[in-house]
A = this chain, B = another copy of it.
Amino acid sequence: MGLGEFGRIEKFFKPLASGFPGALGLDDDAAVLPVEDLTGLVVSNDAVVAGVHFRPDDPADLVARKALRCNLSDMAAMGAEPWAYTLTLALSTTDDAAVGDQWVEALALGLAKDQEIFGVHLIGGDSVSTPGPTMLSITIFGKCVGGTVLRRSGARVGDDVYVSGTIGDAALGLRVLDGSLDAEENAAFLVDRYHLPRPRVVLGAALLDYATAAMDVSDGLAQDLSHICAASKVGAELRAEDVPLSPVARSLVDAGGVSIAEILGGGDDYELLFTAPKTARETVTKRSRDAAVDVSRIGEIVEGLGLTVRDGDGEVVPLDRLGYRHG
State whether the Cβ of A44 lies closer than 8 Å to any Cβ in chain B.
yes
State whether the Cβ of A35 lies closer than 8 Å to any Cβ in chain B.
yes
A267 CB to closest chain B CB (Å) equals: 13
A266 CB to closest chain B CB (Å) equals: 18
Tell me the A17-49 residues at the B interface (CB within 8 Å).
Answer: 22, 24, 27-36, 38-49
Distance, CA A48 to CA B153, complexed state (A)? 34
Contact A29 B44 (CB under 8 A): yes
Contact B30 A142 (CB under 8 A): yes
Known: A52-B130, A78-B30, A130-B132. A90 touches B47 (CB 8 A): yes
Distance, CA A42 to CA B7, complexed state (A)? 24
- Please name 5 pairs of A and B residues whose Cβ atoms are closer than 8 Å in the assembled complex, sorted by A: A22-B40, A28-B152, A29-B44, A47-B88, A52-B131
Contact A88 B88 (CB under 8 A): yes
Q: Which residues of B contact A90 (CB under 8 A)?
A: 47, 49, 135, 137
Distance, CA A22 to CA B147, complexed state (A)? 13
Distance, CA A29 to CA B227, complexed state (A)? 11
Residue of B nearest to A144 (CB): B32
Contact segment of A120-128, A160-168, A244-252 = A120-128
Contact B86 A139 (CB under 8 A): yes
List residues of A whose CB falls within 8 A of some B CB.
4, 6-7, 22, 24, 27-36, 38-49, 51-53, 74-75, 77-78, 80, 86, 88, 90, 92, 123-126, 128-133, 135, 137, 139, 141-142, 144, 149, 151-153, 215-216, 231, 327
Distance, CA A38 to CA B149, complexed state (A)? 19
- Across the interface, A33 reaches (CB within 8 A) one of B24, B30, B41, namely B41
A137 CB to closest chain B CB (Å) equals: 4
A99 CB to closest chain B CB (Å) equals: 12
Known: A27-B231, A28-B152, A40-B22. A45 touches B132 (CB 8 A): no
Residue of B nearest to A143 (CB): B35
Taking A45-B125, A47-B88, A47-B126 as given, write out 4 further A-B residue pairs in contact, using a Cβ cutoff of 8 Å, ordered by the A residue number. Answer: A30-B43, A33-B40, A35-B38, A90-B137
Distance, CA A44 to CA B125, complexed state (A)? 7
Contact B39 A75 (CB under 8 A): no
Residue of B nearest to A27 (CB): B231
Distance, CA A51 to CA B152, complexed state (A)? 39
Q: Which residues of B contact A135 (CB under 8 A)?
A: 90, 130, 132, 135
Known: A31-B43, A32-B41. A52 touches B129 (CB 8 A): yes
Distance, CA A9 to CA B36, complexed state (A)? 32
A232 CB to closest chain B CB (Å) equals: 10
Distance, CA A34 to CA B43, complexed state (A)? 11
Distance, CA A6 to CA B227, complexed state (A)? 11
Distance, CA A116 to CA B84, complexed state (A)? 29
Q: Which residues of B contact A216 (CB under 8 A)?
A: 29
- Across the interface, A131 reaches (CB within 8 A) one of B27, B78, B133, B327, namely B133
